[in-house]
Structure 1
Amino acid sequence: MRIHLIAVGERMPAWVNAAYAEYANRLPAECSLNLKEIPAVKRGKNADLARIAETEGARMLEAIPKDCLVVALDEKGRSFSTAELSRRLDDWMHSGRDLALLVGGPEGLTDACRARADLVWSLSPLTFPHPLVRVILAEQVYRAWSLLRGHPYHRE
């Protein structure tokens, strides 16, 4: 299964790219994590943020590969323990379909992105900077996979 992390924003700080790559590179081909960056629309002083979010959301939806399961990351979504996420990952891996994870920009995801999702997932009730979400997602996917495979990375 390929996991497509579709995220708004390019040119992340070096520490974000390094941390993301650290976990993404640990994952095997059976659960590969691939980043698709969606260019952020420029935000000026009097920017129409709703229009910007709609534009970015439409670009995200266009980037979803055909026949993917879609999971939208949103603070109002469902939260999972590590064990629950690991079971979900196992189900996704056995579904025969790839997975797309949607991470919005500063304005979050649009209603259209959430409506397209098969699941809306919350990493936390806290709000995280969207670059940091990439790192957290990569680490959590690796942790869930390692739990499935009995790897000692995750400890109870």
Structure 2
Amino acid sequence: MKLGILAVGHKLPDWVAEGCAEYQKRMPRELPLTVVEIKPEPRGTKTREQLLSAEASRLQPVLQGYDRIVVLDERGADLTTMKLAQRLEGWMREGGDTAFIIGGADGIDEGLKCQADDTIRLSSLTLPHAMARLILCEQLYRAVSVVKNHPYHREG
């Protein structure tokens, strides 16, 4: 099973890329993690719906290789690390590659949200996109460490 983070946004600071790369490197071979940057739509005079639709059309071809879509949204399920680990373990049992979508500055197209198999949120706080990517990378690594009984995660 493969995991992919598909993030709408511009090139991020080196420290974010380095942090994501560190967690990608730590992932087990049977659960590789990739981060794919999707170019945001230039704002100009377009409506929010037009921007989101254009970004969704850029995401669609990349999503073709994934069996499961998880959207990150402020109204998504608020999971603890242990609950994320349980979901990850279930997805691993079911098989199929999983894509996590982080939308751009204006969010994610409603049609794309409807395609999602799951919707989660990382925090009740509003996070910058750079931090959301890095936190998601770390939390996926932490969740797999829970599943594998690795000592990285300490409960209690």
Q: For the residues of structure 1 that align with 2:48 and 2:13, how far apart are their CA atoms?
A: 23
- Provide the secondary structure at the position in 2 that maps to 1:11: coil
Q: Which runs of 4+ in 1 moved over 2 A?
A: 46-50
- Counterpart residue identity of residue 103, structure 1: I
Alpha-carbon offset, residue 87 of structure 1: 0.8
Q: For the residues of structure 2 that align with 1:67 and 1:101, how far apart are their CA atoms?
A: 10
1:132 aligns with 2:147: no
1:11 aligns with 2:11: yes
**1:77, 1:120 within 8 Å by CA — same for their partners in 2?**
yes
User: Counterpart of 2:43?
Assistant: 43
User: Counterpart of 1:65?
Assistant: 64
Count of residues in correspondence between the two structures: 155
Query: Which residues of structure 2 form unaligned runs of 5+?
Result: none
Greater Cα shift, 88-97 or 60-69: 60-69
TM-score, with length taken from structure 1: 0.93
User: Counterpart of 2:52?
Assistant: 53
Identity %: 39
User: Over aligned residue pairs, what C-alpha RMSD do you find?
Assistant: 1.3
Q: For the residues of structure 2 that align with 1:107 and 1:34, how far apart are their CA atoms?
A: 23
TM-score, with length taken from structure 2: 0.93
Alpha-carbon offset, residue 59 of structure 1: 1.4
Task: Flag the 1:19–1:67 CA change in 2: closer, same or farther, 3 A.
Answer: closer
Alpha-carbon offset, residue 117 of structure 1: 0.3
Q: For the residues of structure 2 that align with 1:62 and 1:112, how far apart are their CA atoms?
A: 15
- Provide the secondary structure at the position in 2 that maps to 1:97: coil
- Counterpart residue identity of residue 105, structure 2: P
- Counterpart residue identity of residue 118, structure 1: D
- Counterpart residue identity of residue 56, structure 1: E
Task: Flag the 1:144–1:153 CA change in 2: closer, same or farther, 3 A.
Answer: same
Spell out, residue by residue over 1:37-61, the C-alpha distance to the aligned partner (whole angstroms, 9 max, x if none): 11112234x4433311211122112
**1:57, 1:104 within 8 Å by CA — same for their partners in 2?**
no
